[in-house]
Amino acid sequence: MLTRYEVARLVGIRALQISEGSEPRVLVANECLRRDAVYVAALELYEKKMDACVVRNGISKHVSMLSNPLDLVTMINTRDGGERVYGSSGGLTGSTSPSSYPRDATSSSRSCL
């Protein structure tokens, strides 16, 4: 399992690459979320499409071979209102279409930053 510190570093490095123009490896339908480099990077890691390795005690492991911690699932669900379940093997397990996003009094007036 990836640690929260490894997730933070991997997502941070990949988000920087995406913000500097690197092509994302996942398709994000929502325009606001598509512009959020941290969200896109986290989604790449969650869906196991990130091409990176973690080295522990001299042993290199590809991130697609390691499970995701609850922190990553929580972060993605918080940003897009999804219903992913902890412990899934990647891929989308919850509905993340724009029509399934939670609506409240402020969401209709919120805009993309």
Q: Give the residue extent of every domain in the chain.
A: 4-87
Architecture of domain 4-87: Alpha-Beta Complex (3.90)
pLDDT at 28: 93
d(Cα 32, Cα 77) in Å, to the nearest integer?
15
Query: What is d(CA 32, CA 110) in angstroms, rounded to the nearest whole number?
Result: 10
By 3-state DSSP, what share of the chain in percent is helix, strand and coil, each rounded to 5?
Answer: 40, 5, 50
72-101 pLDDT tens trace: 999 999 999 887 777 655 544 444 444 444
Indicate the DSSP class of residue 55.
E
Whole-number pLDDT of residue 85: 75
Q: Identify the sign of the CA torsion 42, 81, 89, 6.
A: positive
Tell me what percent of the residues of the chain surpass a pLDDT of 70. Answer: 76
What digits encode the pLDDT tens for the residues 31-64? 999 999 999 999 999 999 999 999 999 999 999 9
